[in-house]
Amino acid sequence: MSATNNSDEHVNKLQHQISVMRKEIKNLRQLLDSGVRSHRKQMTSLQSALTQVGQDGVPQSQPMAQTQRCASNLLEKGTIQTVPIGYISSCFSVKTGTPRQPTICGPSRATLQIQQSVFNNPGHSLVGLENYSHVWVVFLFHKNGHLSYKAKVMPPRLNGQKVGVFSTRSPHRPNALGLTLAKLDRVAGDTLHLSEVDMIAGTPVLDIKPYIPDYDSPQHRPNMHTNTDCRLQPEGTECAESVCSEDPSPSTEDAQLPMLVVGMDGGHSQSAEPRLLTWTDTSKVPILSSDDTSSSSAPKVLGKGLSTVLAELNAFLSQGDDHLSGWSSAKKFPASDGHKAKPLKQEEDVARPCYGEEAYSTIAGWIREPPVTSLEVRFTPHAERDLGEFLGPSSADSLGCNQPRFQFLRCPKEAASAIRGILAADPRSVYRRSRCKDRLFFFTLDTADITCWFGPGFAEVLQVRPVAV
């Protein structure tokens, strides 16, 4: 009897506990709901507040993380609030008479001071830029007068003929964005000293990027694994065997580009990076010695030792102007000054040729000699087979089966080439590279999901699967 009473009591206690817990859960749910509601409200007001910035100039005092979340939402929709990083002071005050392109008038000079409202220490944002001779300036045509634009325009030099606005550099375009490649004469603290500009005073500048011929000039681009000939491999059929093997020979394009690359021991007092000197017009570049410069292999030239290269360069230059015929701008080139190792300080006038004498562009040494080495890329036989299954976008379905099909890439061989390029450059973040070395790495290329892993000095593709639809 007493045992039954005890178990009844126990059941009652349990039931009571359950009902208390239910109440607590209900309360928690209510709290959560109201929290979510207020969070949503906050988000909406943040978004509308953000859209106001720039229109009324009121700075937002919202928490950073929330603001960034909202800003990224806006970015994804293509809505951005631009904040000029500075305003041009230039020798041109009105549009009339301002050069139509920077190449028209080299001595056209300007300065750009980075605004303190953008960075607490504006000068910090320019550290390293002194290694470059040219910068892209992205700016607003703020004096367009009206914001109208037409699909077809009449470029002055076409004398009345019309062409599509996007085939021109007309200021009257949607978004009124201008792009000028300016010469960077000097960086002094928070200020850039420029020449070869075509912007009027007061022009709001949105961004500055270093000019890097390897990225920005097709004739200077290194071999990008793009010379795949899909015709050698019937699309999606017999590719599997050799689809992933590396091209044995360098591209002919590579061989034809005798770009002179000279390592300069800039004796840089602030950074250990060497500067590279590259001739911008490779077609006019005299070749120093067939062994060293005809192959356009920058690391090879640099690998020789800077002093040897400088000695060779000086020897070449001291041979006189005869060797420079057909290269008129170089005749005035200040051979010794321009090539001597010279400390580059931010606040110092850099020994660069004056307008009309420059025949080169310079870039930071780490662009071509980065501390991150490129990786060897391998495919497992399994991954090769996977990739060989894919068809090109226009190939006829073989045997009517449901083979995976690329949308953009022309054939598995081209895909293998793209994968090689991506992995050789080690796409991992610094964090992943150091902290999660052993993790599998996934990425998507066209319609293929790629799985790989990284070992010391190599990346190996393990699997290539069609993207799940």
Ligand X SMILES: C[S@@+](CC[C@H](N)C(=O)[O-])C[C@H]1O[C@@H](n2cnc3c(N)ncnc32)[C@H](O)[C@@H]1O
Chain residues binding ligand X by CB under 6 A are 95, 98-101, 141-144, 169, 171, 178-180, 198-200, 203
Residue 410, CA distances (Å) to 101, 144, 383, 420 in order: 38, 43, 18, 16
Least distance to ligand X, CB of residue 130, Å: 23
Least distance to ligand X, CB of residue 144, Å: 5
Select 155 or 258, whichever has its Cβ closest to ligand X.
155
Least distance to ligand X, CB of residue 238, Å: 48
Least distance to ligand X, CB of residue 99, Å: 6
Select 112 or 375, whichever has its Cβ closest to ligand X.
112
Dihedral sign computed on CA atoms, order 453, 457, 458, 459: positive
Least distance to ligand X, CB of residue 173, Å: 9
**CA-angle at 279, arms to 194 and 100, nearest 5°:** 40
Question: Helix (H) and strand (E) counts for the chain?
Answer: 13, 15
CA distance 354 to 109: 12
Nearest CA to 390 out of 247, 223, 244 is that of 244
Select 201 or 335, whichever has its Cβ closest to ligand X.
201
Select 170 or 191, whichever has its Cβ closest to ligand X.
170
Select 143 or 342, whichever has its Cβ closest to ligand X.
143
Select 141 or 390, whichever has its Cβ closest to ligand X.
141
CA distance 378 to 363: 32
CA distance 458 to 454: 6
Select 179 or 287, whichever has its Cβ closest to ligand X.
179
Least distance to ligand X, CB of residue 138, Å: 9
**CA-angle at 229, arms to 226 and 231, nearest 5°:** 155
Least distance to ligand X, CB of residue 109, Å: 14
